[in-house]
Amino acid sequence: MRALWYNLLVMKLHGILALSAVVAALASLADAGEPAHDAASLARALTAQGGEGLKFDFSAVVTYVCTNNFDRRINIAAEDASGAVLVCTSDEVRPAVLPMPGDTARFTGEVRGNVYGRNFAVLDSYELASRGKAPAPQELTHDAMLSGSCDYKLVRFRGVLKDVIFNETDPDYMLFMIEAPNGRGIFTTAPVFDAGAFDRMDALIGRPVEVTGVVVPFDHSPRLYTGRIFKVSDVECIRPLEDAPDARTHIQGHVVAVSKRAGRVILKTDRGEFVSVNLADPHLPSYGECVEASGLEETDLFRRTLFNAQWTKLDGPAYRDEDPVSVSPRKLTQDAQGRRKVNCEYYGRAIRVSGTIRSMPEDDPEGRMLLDCDGCPVYVDASALPGVLDGLEEETVVDVSGTCALDVDAPERTSAIPRLRGFTIILRTPSDITVVRRPSWWTPAKLATVIGALLAMLVAVTAWNTSLRRLAARKGRELMREQIGHVAAKLKTEERTRLAVELHDSLAQTLSGISLEIDTAKKLADENGPGMRKHLGIAARTLKSCRDELRNCLWDLRNRALEASSMNDAIRQTLLPHLRGVEVVLRVNVPRSRLTDNTAHAVLRIVRELVLNGVRHGGATKVWIAGAIDDGRAKFSVRDNGSGFDPATAPSFAQGHYGLLGIRERIESLEGEFTIESAPGEGTKATISIPPINKDSK
């Protein structure tokens, strides 16, 4: 039940928030569409989202004028019956008559936004109506300032000047921190008109002051302040109160530690109290001097501290050095159970530790020497003793004496409470550090250097070898490409020669025979008609044979049978386009590697010619092709079931048949043997025997 009521309550709250957002958006749209005619409306637009682009036109009394001496822009606070607002001039518009507090004027312009997402009212025109008496400022309390009821109004308040710096984001302005009577800090900005302004204001740190200016809810600079800030037209508007008591604390004591690195000293008072003093003066006192320090007292929850302090030397008794106490670093940072515990009772006292140097001041971001004391890190500050660490190096074992100082972190993002980091030993005199043992010559660092040098040499040698291998590989590839080019050229030449021989031995001879037959037929044309027809028939058959031979040559040029891995595949590819409806039984056991390309080409041509003869002339329907290596010779046989013929009476060259003649010529060129067995009606068997060229291949 509670969960139900809780969900209903949450839903109602979300509805109220959504309705408020809608109303605010409608109000902003209404304001954006209607110009602001009074100071209060313009002030609301400056802090509202969507106020950019709003026009304004109103009349009011000038209460505050701030002129920047560098970019000559003017900030003007104006007040009417509705309230007050701050406007500024632009680079294009600057009043011919400089506004003065008390003047009544008409202000016209629009609201613009800057790169930091903040709105400001920019004047397009300024019309002076009348001169008047400057208004008196209102007395301001800190609570009234926080409430926003005095925004953009001329007010005055009192407080203590705590600090002053140049604004890092705008060097034309100084930034002040003024502490109100209730202890709350107020940021104040003022323009810089002369070089001595900073020194004059710095001298007032710790003094009660009276400040006159205007309160603004936000600033146009990149700084993002918490709460409202106070603007003054000149540093002279921050006036010291002569009759008010000095807010600075004065402490006398002897200097027991000096850190030029941190710009601070530790004083030991007559009551034995240790006080940390952060000095504004870069000139620091020396160890053992009796001084008086005056500054703003603060605490980091562990010790009293004076900030922005000044010091003067006093004539006092000489300081008697305290004998250092030998202490284990673990005792400084741990309790008896080993838990982390910072023992603050050693703060300001003289202690002694022993350890090994792990890093020198130049290697530390804070300029300290780091000791390793039985696994505990201890920092040593020798910034007040120039040259005392000269000659020391890492891995040196030393005894160190000095004043124990607390290391306190500033409040972190996740915590508003200062935290202790540990201790730093601040050397007092050159005798506070003693060398116990220097590192051996062969240090781990030097060993690492030697190993690094050897590794570098190894990498260099490896890179050199890799480079040589790449160069050799590149040269080898170039040589291989050159040799392949030579071999390719040689193969092209051999192939051209082979084609020329084949064309000459087959086509050229055949064409010569055709020419002779045609010449004979011409001679017999008038005398012997039957003889003429006989010779023309021979010429026709010879021409057909020539055509078939040419077609086979063209097929061989396109065919990739020689690229086959076995002679079985090569023969099958060669016969495939020529046989339709003929059964071929193929069993060849001759390795392709035992035959050169020319020999394999000749075998393929011979086998094809024998198969085609059996199919075309003998009408064979089945062909057996076999091959093997026998007695060191490659033997092939082609057998068919065709009609057969009588080899003794077979048609010859004279009748226009060149098949068997061409086969015999090819086999003779290979130094082989050729036999043919056939009889009418019994089929034909042809046998080829040639010596293989690659005798070592298997």
- Tell me the CATH number at 578: 3.30.565.10
Q: What is the DSSP string of 208-246?
A: EEEEEEEEESS-SSS---SS-EEE-SSGGGEEE-TTSPP
Identify which of 81, 90, 101, 48 has the alpha carbon closest to the alpha carbon of residue 213: 101
What pLDDT, on the 0 to 100 scale, is given for residue 209? 92
Boundaries of domain holding 2: 1-33
What pLDDT, on the 0 to 100 scale, is given for residue 291? 95
d(CA 47, CA 31): 13
What number of other Cβ atoms are within 10 A of residue 445's Cβ? 12
d(CA 341, CA 265): 25
Q: Count the domains in the chain.
A: 7
Instruction: Identify the residue whose tokens are 């393929």.
Output: 604
Domain boundary among 80, 100, 130: 130
Residues 644 and 655 in one domain: yes
| Ramachandran sector of residue 338 (left: φ over 0; alpha: ψ -120 to 50; beta: rest) | left
Residues 608 and 664 in one domain: yes
Residues 596 and 687 in one domain: yes
Residues 641 and 694 in one domain: yes
Residues 449 and 510 in one domain: yes
Residues 273 and 331 in one domain: no
Low-confidence ranges of the chain (pLDDT < 70): 1-33, 68-72, 410-417, 443, 491-513, 516, 541-542, 544-562, 650-659, 693-698
What pLDDT, on the 0 to 100 scale, is given for residue 560? 61
Question: What residues form DSSP beta bridges with 425?
Answer: 380, 404
d(CA 253, CA 268): 5
pLDDT digits (tens, 9 = 90+) for 320-347: 888 999 998 888 888 888 888 888 888 8
Domain boundary among 320, 353, 381: 320
Residues 339 and 310 in one domain: no
Residues 387 and 354 in one domain: yes
Domain boundary among 96, 130, 164: 130
- In 290-332, where do the E strands start and end? 290-299, 304-313, 325-326
d(CA 626, CA 567): 11
pLDDT digits (tens, 9 = 90+) for 55-77: 999 999 999 998 765 556 788 99
What number of other Cβ atoms are within 10 A of residue 534's Cβ? 16
Please classify residue 626 by burial: count the beta carbons closer than 10 Å to its beta carbon, then call 0-12 exposed, 13-18 middle and 19+ buried: middle
What pLDDT, on the 0 to 100 scale, is given for residue 551? 62
Residues 591 and 648 in one domain: yes
198 contacts: CB under 8 Å, gap ≥ 6: 164, 166, 174, 192
Residues 642 and 606 in one domain: yes
Half-sphere exposure (CA, 13 Å, Cβ side) for 247? 25
Please report, for the domain that includes residue 66, its CATH number.
Answer: 2.40.50.140
- Alpha helices of 617-684 — where are they, by DSSP H? 659-669
d(CA 371, CA 436): 13
Q: Is there a contact between 513 and 544 (Cβ–Cβ < 8 Å)?
A: no
What pLDDT, on the 0 to 100 scale, is given for residue 455? 93
pLDDT digits (tens, 9 = 90+) for 609-619: 888 888 888 88
| Ramachandran sector of residue 72 (left: φ over 0; alpha: ψ -120 to 50; beta: rest) | left
What spatial distance separates the first Cα and last Cα of the chain, rounded to whole Å?
Answer: 96
What pLDDT, on the 0 to 100 scale, is given for residue 7? 44
Residues 156 and 274 in one domain: no
- In 414-458, where do the E strands start and end? 419-426, 433-437
Distances (CA, A) of 353 to 155, 387, 433, 678: 58, 21, 10, 120
Instruction: Identify the residue whose tokens are 């915590």.
Output: 415
Identify which of 618, 552, 598 has the alpha carbon closest to the alpha carbon of residue 694: 598
Residues 300 and 389 in one domain: no
